[in-house]
Chains A and B, each alone.
Chain A
Amino acid sequence: MKKFLKASALAASVFAIASAAQADEEADLVVNGEIEITVRTSAPEHVDGLRDIYSGWVFRSDETQAMQMDDFDNPGMIFVEEAIEAFNTVEGSEGNSCASCHDTPENLAGARATHPKWNDNAEEIRTLGMQINGCRTEQMGAEPWAADKGDMLAMEALLASVSRGMPVNVQIDGPAEAAYELGRELYYTRTGQLDLSCASCHEQNYGNYIRADHLSQGQINGFPTYRLKNAKLNGVQSRFRGCVRDTRAETYAVNSPEFIALELYVASRGNGLSVEGPSVRN
């Protein structure tokens, strides 16, 4: 309590920026003593409202931060192990596994960093999950996996893990521009009876506490995230749903055009941070 009062006295202005005094916000992230993760850097030019961008890792407690520093302590890595098996398992009418086309997961390093991304053949923006299902249905003749659930999140975690340390680099112009614009509009639009936008919490108030929650910038470079709160992997758009619901609003559906656009836009706000999934959050 004492500590809190001191912190809030420091945060004199209403929209106080992360109080630099807190040691854990200054910490650096190196995974397994070798993968260097960029958790803070300058904001990309297209983001007007932020000078610097921070991974959500920066805002978590020392204990939660530590769990992500070593794969043996990161519960998300159990799902990565599972997905390696799925990667090599033949499924569907075509007699293929992921490995038939891609050989090893490491060959797909970089995929997490660039999705959501325009797909020329399909002529649509695809999230990483949509691309995985595209491969399953089009290349393997297998059933698509349910979005933001077990098998899919595990495979996303595997693909994230092999991209760890690479900078997020989502394209926002050319064929991605329309989705970028829609996502941007949604990010700044207030919703629900509490009349709050993503920006109300994650741009104007990151670093501040809202009740017991330490607000981050709501970056998605760490997804899928293993949350201690529900002890499983969590997908990006399910997280969006939770946040929109908390404004007392009607949410959009997972994989709706709105949430695909919002995912592309929010990902692009993190261009320059490292991929760090599967991350650990509270």
Chain B
Amino acid sequence: MKQMFLTAAVLACATVAKAEVVAPGDVQFGEYGAIEASLSGVPGNADSGLEIMVTRGKGNCIACHAVSALEDYPFHGEVGPSLDGVGARWSEAELRGLVANAKMTFDGTVMPAFYQTTGFNRPGNAFTGKAAEGELDPLLTAQEIEDVVAYLMTLNEY
């Protein structure tokens, strides 16, 4: 029993080490807000990126952005620009920076930072209206950011 537990623990450590997740506080932004290195070390999956884009409890990106390719999912917002063609307009590193913390690219933008856990005013416990307890989780995980970036890279037509 003990042996098995130990093996499991060792295996778990090994996978974490291999994945090389960059913690939100350790992300390196370039001068214009781009992030060169993958946040998870694992290539993004565009299909799950799509799901994250349209799901309210996840990215909910279409709350603010129209995307022609996502026409089947109702109610696209107008707060941000259309994302048609972003894969052609921006590099992968730039898109990673935009999703992780768009304020590093667009100073003062209303777009929320999806990979940031500190520096907020009166942070809440999700949507309860109560104060947050302990450390915040980022709105999206490192892998979810990579998945969204992979999806955005497919949007290379206007």
Contacts and interface: CB of A to CB of B under 8 A. Distances in A.
**Real complex partners, A and B?**
yes
B62 A211 contact: yes
Contact of B124 (A4, A14, A208, A250): A250
B18 interface: no
Interface of B: 56, 60, 62-64, 66, 68, 71, 74-82, 110, 112-113, 120-132, 136, 139
A250 B123 contact: yes
B60 A211 contact: yes
Contacts of A14: 79-81
Contact of B128 (A195, A196, A245): A245
B110 A250 contact: no
Contacts of B71: 1, 5
A14 B108 CA distance: 13
Interface of A: 1, 4-5, 7-8, 11, 14, 16, 189-196, 200-201, 204-205, 208-212, 241, 244-251
B139 A208 contact: no
B121 A249 contact: yes
Q: Secondary structure at chain A's binding surface: helix, strand, loop or mixed?
A: loop
A246 B124 CA distance: 10
A11 B78 contact: yes
A20 to B, nearest CB: 15
A214 to B, nearest CB: 10
Nearest to A194: B112
B112 A210 contact: no
B110 A200 contact: yes
Nearest to B62: A211
B78 A193 contact: no
Given A193-B132, A210-B78, 8 more contacts: A4-B76, A8-B76, A14-B81, A194-B112, A205-B79, A211-B56, A245-B129, A246-B127
